[in-house]
Amino acid sequence: MDGKAIRKIVIVGGGTAGWMAAAPLAQRLCQGPGQRCEVVLIESPDIGTIGVGEATLPTIRFYNQALGLDNADFIKNTQASFKLGIEFKGWGHLGNRFFHGFGEFGPAVDGMAGHMLWLRLRLSGMTGLPSHEDWSAATVMARQNRFTLPQSGPPSAGNAFSYAFHFDAGLYAAYLRDYAMQRGAVRIEGTIVDVELRDTDGFVAAVRLQDGRRIDGDLFLDCSGFRALLIEGVMKAGYEDWSAMLPCNSAQAVPSARAPSLTPFTTSTARSAGWLWRIPLQHRTGNGHVYCNQFTSDAEASRVLLDGLDTEALDEPRQLRFTTGRRRQAWVKNVVAVGLASGFLEPLESTSIQLIMDGVGRLVELMPDRDFHPALAAEYNRRMQAQYESIRDFIVLHYKLTRRDDSEFWRYCAAMPIPDTLRHQIELFRAAGRIVILDREGFSEPSWFSLLMGLGVVPQSRDPWLDRFDGDALRTHLERVRRAIAGTVAGMPDHGDFIAQFAAAPPVAMPRPASMPH
């Protein structure tokens, strides 16, 4: 590299965030003619991580593809399964059940999305109309536990869905660690005890390890998790606390035995003071309870978690505390925070990996030279702020629209203040059947439609442009689409059978505890 190009990047912290940052940086900067940038990752043996099943969004596929990862090899090495969406139980009201599937609700017609065509029939009072979920191929597949990869070719029921993955987060980090180190990244094991700043401008010059080693660098990525060692501990970036509208501040996670049937979706079950997650992997099931400790005790939360398991627990629940929110600045001087160091949003819509991936992607796009022009940091911070706020609003939506009044927690959620941006989005859909997307890099119209309808918001009126469609002809068209989806899904293999043939992971010996609390 010539001129003022970055010569050395130091990543503080390993885990998912650290190695997701190291892999593409090593791929781009440590290889090829003329490249002279070092990528060094410092990982402490004293700091553990909570090994959980991780659920993702479909865009994880683009990250993997950009690295050139083989799909089957990745699935085998991370004990992964496929994910078509999220099943929600008990959200909105007791007994409620709906699905947030990945993909459209049938094809668009004359520029009108499939879900809007269904809404045209629903609001016209047509009787006997099936649920909008019948037009979501991903949802129909999930109901029947079926999966296959989307078919190539023109749009059809065989490719009218998208998919993501569930995987073991620890195994994914190890997989990317091997990838990054094979491409030139250097791993240093040690514990940081001091940070050295430049006298001239307050930039980080180096970090010092417990054994006395000094690791210098030009650019430092803070992947130290909630500790936020550099971005907060040194740069004092500040934190915007969103607890008032996202009151959950605790979680417990526990693995359990693999279920006999491998479901191709995540499950989120609302409980009296929060919600339970269930993430199926090839070798086990990941489970957790996200809750607010102002409305329940840790002991009761543990009981609810363990009682909600559908297979035998393999360990003791592990406790986690957090404050929902974001760093006011994720990039300060020559420090960029990635992952939990940059903020935390509960994993209700599987956005943790997405925020890491997009944070790294934006850094690659806005890579500075050693002058670190402030405009680059300003743009990075603007885009990260917009993404965090967009995801925040989407998650708050799940809580705010509740009609549950069976616990103090849900009564609080129904009454709590929400951002003006979210209030506008809800009111626009309720009044006129329109969905406004404020962040084009965030959740799309079908996702908002799934949540709004699933939580019981039915528009009072519809887009008048929809009235140009003849009702009877439109119903005939939609019924043809619904039958095509149903017929195509009926011919797909069982999800577990597909994985067994496509990318079965080797068996893993799971721990069996001597006793478990109940």
pLDDT digits (tens, 9 = 90+) for 435-482: 999 999 999 999 999 999 999 999 999 999 999 999 999 999 999 999
Which domain, by its residues, includes 60? 8-80+167-241+324-389
| pTM for this entry | 0.95
The count of structural domains within the chain is 1
85 within domain boundaries:
no
Which residues face 494 on adjacent strands? 146
With 50 as the cut, is the pLDDT of residue 244 above it?
A: yes
Residue 125: what pLDDT?
85
Q: Give the model confidence (pLDDT) of 412-437 as tens digits.
A: 999 999 999 999 999 999 999 999 99
Residue 83 is a catalytic residue: yes
Residue 348: what pLDDT?
96
319 within domain boundaries:
no
Residue 498: what pLDDT?
98
Q: Which DSSP state fits 225?
A: G
Q: Give the model confidence (pLDDT) of 300-321 as tens digits.
A: 999 999 999 999 999 999 999 9
Lowest mean pLDDT among 39-53, 200-214, 265-279: 39-53
Residue 468: what pLDDT?
92
33 within domain boundaries:
yes
pLDDT band for position 203 (50/70/90)? very high
- Average pLDDT score, the chain: 94
- Which residue in 4, 8, 76, 83 is the catalytic one? 83
Residue 31: what pLDDT?
79
Strand 164-168 with 81-83, pairing? antiparallel
45 within domain boundaries:
yes
- List Cβ neighbours of 502 (8 Å cut-off, separation of 6 or more): 72, 75
CATH number of the CATH domain containing 15? 3.50.50.60
Interior/surface letters 454-488, b for 16+ CB within 10 angstroms, e for the rest: bbebebeebeeebeebeeeebbebbeebbebbeeb
